[in-house]
């Protein structure tokens, strides 16, 4: 198994490339931010990242503009690129879900002189990275060892809700899905009231409508209305901060409810994907709300499946705490394994 250096900030001092004189550029592109870095495999087999940069996607008309900015800033000419996008892949082209960007492998090769260019779904990269990061890169939510000899679900809330499935085999196969766009399934009266609130305001209430960064804001808005509390028009980060400061606040109720709903969605993913090997949770929102999971109903919502509850009782659940996992996952697709 590949080892990666997965904690802390990537180095700002590039070393000699494990791919000869060629450089490998990797990217993780979501609906809010785009992160680019140079990747190499060291002589010991580690994947290392250098010169990591984050760019707000709202400041650019197209992904090519981000790449051009990065290459100009660092005065580099990579020959290989691997980029993970929040959107489905068709043939050699990615269409982003929450951003009006279309990116193709052919265009990237032509525009930037790349010998190899790979575009992939971000949760394919997340899943690939999850298979190689060390155990201390995870928090354990439900104990047990993830078993890659069985299907494993990988999901997580960010700007949207990503979902993929790792299938056993040599090598492992990763199946991207658009499972975040399944209909939201309430688990109690409060969640049913939230669904009713947003059903009159959105054309379709998907899981990611409420289980994402923007979804946390929508959830807070609805609960404020339902509980006759003031809607303070808080951002997702402000809701989490307010929840930390006041255990009796509507923000705390919101974050705990978000965690419980995430448990329900994770359980749904386990049974629909047959993920008896485990469930892995990533995404930018997950690490920020992780501390609230133990006091929420996450575990009971994951395990309570009615007559099918027996199926999920022993499925382990882990939450990724390591940094830059999609970048490592993208890099692992194109960097030659160490001999």
Give the pLDDT band of residue 268 (cuts 50, 70, 90).
Answer: very high
Which residues touch 34 (CB under 8 Å, ≥6 apart)?
27, 28, 54, 55, 56, 57, 60, 63, 66
Across the range 249-264, mean pLDDT stands at: 98
Q: Which residue has the higher pLDDT, 120 or 338?
A: 120
pLDDT per residue as tens digits for the range 208-230: 999 999 999 999 999 999 999 88
pLDDT at 191 over 80: yes
Across the range 170-186, mean pLDDT stands at: 94
CATH numeric code, 136-321: 3.40.367.20
End-to-end CA distance of the chain: 12
* Sequence-ordered alpha helix ranges (H) in 273-307: 286-289, 298-303
Strands (E), the chain: 24-29, 33-41, 47-56, 80-85, 89-90, 93-95, 102-104, 116-121, 138-142, 152-157, 161-167, 173-177, 278-281, 317-320
Tell me, what's the pLDDT at 304? 96
Using alpha carbons, select from 198, 189, 200, 255 the residue that is nearest to residue 222. 198
Tell me, what's the pLDDT at 15? 46
d(CA 42, CA 17): 8
pLDDT at 4 over 90: no
Using alpha carbons, select from 314, 291, 312, 289 the residue that is nearest to residue 302. 312
Give the pLDDT band of residue 40 (cuts 50, 70, 90).
Answer: very high
Q: What is the pTM of this model?
A: 0.89
Residue ranges covered by each domain of the chain: 24-129+324-334, 136-321
Tell me, what's the pLDDT at 339? 52
d(CA 182, CA 174): 20
Tell me, what's the pLDDT at 290? 97
Across the range 164-182, mean pLDDT stands at: 95
d(CA 283, CA 213): 10
Answer yes or no: CATH 3.30.420.40 is held by domain 24-129+324-334.
yes
pLDDT per residue as tens digits for the range 48-62: 999 999 999 999 999
Percent of the chain with pLDDT over 90: 83
């Amino acid at each position: 198994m590949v080892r990666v250096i997965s904690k802390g900030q990537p180095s700002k001092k590039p070393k000699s490339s494990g791919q000869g004189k060629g450089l490998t550029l990797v990217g993780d592109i979501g609906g809010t931010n785009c992160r680019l870095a140079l990747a190499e495999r060291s002589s010991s087999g580690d994947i290392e990242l250098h010169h990591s940069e984050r760019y707000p996607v709202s400041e650019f008309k197209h992904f090519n503009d981000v790449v051009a900015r990065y290459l100009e800033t660092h005065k580099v000419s990579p020959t290989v690129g691997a980029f993970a996008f929040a959107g489905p892949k068709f043939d050699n082209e990615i269409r982003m879900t929450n951003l009006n960007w279309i990116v193709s492998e052919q265009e990237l090769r032509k525009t930037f002189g790349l010998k190899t260019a790979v575009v992939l779904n971000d949760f394919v990269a997340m899943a690939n990275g999850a298979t190689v990061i060390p155990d201390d890169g995870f928090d354990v939510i439900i104990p047990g060892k993830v078993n890659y000899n069985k299907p494993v679900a990988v999901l997580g809330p960010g700007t949207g809700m990503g979902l993929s499935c790792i299938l056993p085999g040599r090598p492992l196969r990763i199946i991207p899905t658009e499972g975040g766009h399944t209909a939201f399934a309430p688990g109690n009266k409060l969640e049913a009231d939230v669904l009713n609130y947003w059903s009159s305001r959105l054309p379709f209430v998907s899981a990611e409508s409420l289980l994402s960064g923007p979804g946390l804001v929508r959830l807070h808005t609805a609960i404020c209305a339902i509980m006759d509390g003031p809607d303070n028009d808080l951002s997702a980060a402000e809701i989490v901060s307010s929840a930390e400061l006041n255990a009796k606040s509507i923000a705390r109720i919101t974050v705990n409810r978000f965690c419980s709903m995430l448990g329900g969605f994770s359980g749904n993913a386990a049974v629909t994907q047959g993920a008896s090997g485990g469930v892995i949770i990533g995404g930018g929102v997950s690490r920020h709300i992780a501390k609230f999971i133990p006091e929420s109903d996450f575990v009971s919502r994951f395990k309570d499946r009615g007559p099918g509850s027996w199926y999920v009782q022993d499925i382990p659940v882990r939450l990724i705490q390591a940094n830059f996992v999609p970048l490592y996952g993208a890099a692992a697709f194109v960097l030659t394994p160490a001999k």
